[in-house]
Amino acid sequence: MANEKAVAHLHAEQTDLPGVIILEPDVYSDPRGLFYESFHAEKYCAFGIPGPFVQDNFSRSSGGTIRGLHLQIKRPQGKLIRVLRGTVRDVSVDVRPGSPMFGRWVSVDLSADSYQQVYVPAGFAHGFSVLSDDAEVEYKCTTHYNAADEIGIAWNDPELNIDWGVESPRLSERDAANGTLSSVVHRLPQSLYTVNPVNAIRGSEAEHAAGLTPVTDRNRLDF
């Protein structure tokens, strides 16, 4: 893979959208079953995934469902996503004002059989579509969920033109009413970018040498 690095038992690949990282653990199987590390704080931090993660969420969705796009603006969430059942198309959109990648998106098809995960940095909008009959998704978050702080962006925003892989999706009433990115851009603070300007895979030896902003500063905002 291009732009791929590895530490013991874990591989990571930078996607075309800097900061959105695909992770794949080594899976060990034998006649009894299988084993793998689904999370290791030090190893994930070596790839620029800072944490700390403070909340785990779980969802079960029927086929053809789209959840998203969602983000929190005052306390943005970094998210580490994995699929426990089925297959989803996971979508990340850079909506940080001032980012050179503003308005760009990337999608990754995740399945329970691949054991892959995706990290979505704080300040990005996130959503997924269900490509299988149903799907179970689990994700870790760097800040707690706050409904009053969350905004949504329309799944079918024509300027984004995201390929979700589904037609006539099942949506919540809230997601069906979401506006376009251009309609909410005035609500997005500049600090979404300044708090998280560095998004790249980092080797373990480079983590501190890179001069990263402390985790608490990068992933928490107080207005």
For 48-77, the pLDDT digits (tens) are 898 899 999 999 999 999 999 999 999 999
Per-residue pLDDT at 191: 75
For residue 47, name the pLDDT band (cuts at 50, 70, 90). Answer: confident
Domain that holds residue 42: 4-200
Q: What CA–CA distance (Å, rounded) separates 222 from 215?
A: 14
The residue that leads in pLDDT, 199 or 115, is 115
Per-residue pLDDT at 222: 21
79 lies in some domain: yes
206 lies in some domain: no
* Structure-token pair, residue 67: 């959840």
59 lies in some domain: yes
205 lies in some domain: no
Give the closest residue to 116 by CA, choosing from 24, 21, 8: 24
Q: What CA–CA distance (Å, rounded) separates 70 from 73?
A: 10
Q: What CA–CA distance (Å, rounded) separates 137 from 98?
A: 31
CATH of the domain at 121: 2.60.120.10
Residue 98 has pLDDT above 80, yes or no: yes
Q: What CA–CA distance (Å, rounded) separates 207 from 78?
A: 18
Q: What CA–CA distance (Å, rounded) separates 101 from 81?
A: 22
Q: Please tell me the total count of domains within the chain.
A: 1
143 lies in some domain: yes
Q: What CA–CA distance (Å, rounded) separates 208 from 122?
A: 20
Q: Is the dihedral of CA 85, 43, 15, 176 positive or negative?
A: positive
Predicted structure pTM score: 0.83
Give the residue numbers annotated as catalytic, written as ranges.
70, 139
What integer best gives the mean pLDDT of the chain? 85
57 lies in some domain: yes
